[in-house]
Structure 1
Amino acid sequence: MKKINLSEASVIVGGTAPVCTVSFEKTSPTVCMQVTTCVDKNGAVVSKASESADLVRCE
């Protein structure tokens, strides 16, 4: 097995599946948005989507 240094290890493709989290944000007194944010293995945001949600979800 070949030994590799840290910079070589950081570019290895394995384990790169994005991790997504869902949160609810109240953008105004009457509007609630469901926000889905996905990050890569380095913590960089790769996608962010939002859609309207029931106001109860934000309270």
Structure 2
Amino acid sequence: MAYVITDECVSCGTCESECPSEAISQGEDHYVIDPDACVDCGTCADACPTEAIKPE
């Protein structure tokens, strides 16, 4: 089960720098997670200051 970044994302970049599998990149409106690269560790969700990252 991959994680997804919701509209609450403020594009601070914290999740991208914390992701051990480099599965997060800047999208058009906010950051996005590549589900094929995501290893479901939850590090990004724990690091997100706005709680914008949820399990899919």
TM-score by length of 2: 0.20
Mark the structure with the bigger radius of gyration: 1
Q: Whose relative contact order is higher, 1 or 2, with alpha carbons under 8 Å and at least 6 apart?
A: 2
TM-score by length of 1: 0.20
Would you tell me which structure has more strand in proportion to its own residues?
1
Would you tell me which structure has more helix in proportion to its own residues?
2
